[in-house]
């Protein structure tokens, strides 16, 4: 009986872990597609920083500037999910993109 319960718990844990990682991967894919559709080129690398109270002030300000530039509310706590995505192009230049509640915002 214990073995069965342990196995079920392990499966749930794996599902939660995989679905969490898949969420950020999907956001990066959406951001990459939106960026390349807008500007062309090739994205060679990416990294994601999810907004939280411990996010650096520089990253918080970047998100607010991008939101404000799109005439959106720049109060980050008003969104459920906010991500700052850094995309690196084939020239090694890094570009910031924001995902706010599933919408991709390219400056």
pLDDT at 12: 46
Domain that holds residue 21: 2-105
Q: What is the DSSP string of 52-93?
A: -TTS-HHHHHHHHHHHHHTT----GGGSS-EEEEEEEETTS-
For the chain, 107 residues long, give each residue's pLDDT as a single digit of tens.
656 544 544 444 444 444 444 589 999 999 999 999 999 999 999 999 999 989 999 999 999 999 999 999 999 999 999 999 999 999 999 999 999 999 999 99
Q: Total domain count for the chain?
A: 1
Sheet holding 103-105, edge to edge: 43-50, 82-89, 94-100, 103-105
| CB burial of residue 32 (10 Å; 0-12, 13-18, 19+) | middle
């Amino acid at each position: 009986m214990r073995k069965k319960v342990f196995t079920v718990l392990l499966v749930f844990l794996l599902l939660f872990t995989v679905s969490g990682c898949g969420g950020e991967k999907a956001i990066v894919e959406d951001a990459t597609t939106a960026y390349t559709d807008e500007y062309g080129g090739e994205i060679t690398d990416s990294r994601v920083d999810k907004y939280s109270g411990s996010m650096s002030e520089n990253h918080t300000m970047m998100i607010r500037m991008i939101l404000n530039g799109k005439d959106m509310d720049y109060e980050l706590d008003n969104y459920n999910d906010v991500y700052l995505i850094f995309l690196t192009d084939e020239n090694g230049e890094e570009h910031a993109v924001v995902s706010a509640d599933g919408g991709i915002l390219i400056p």
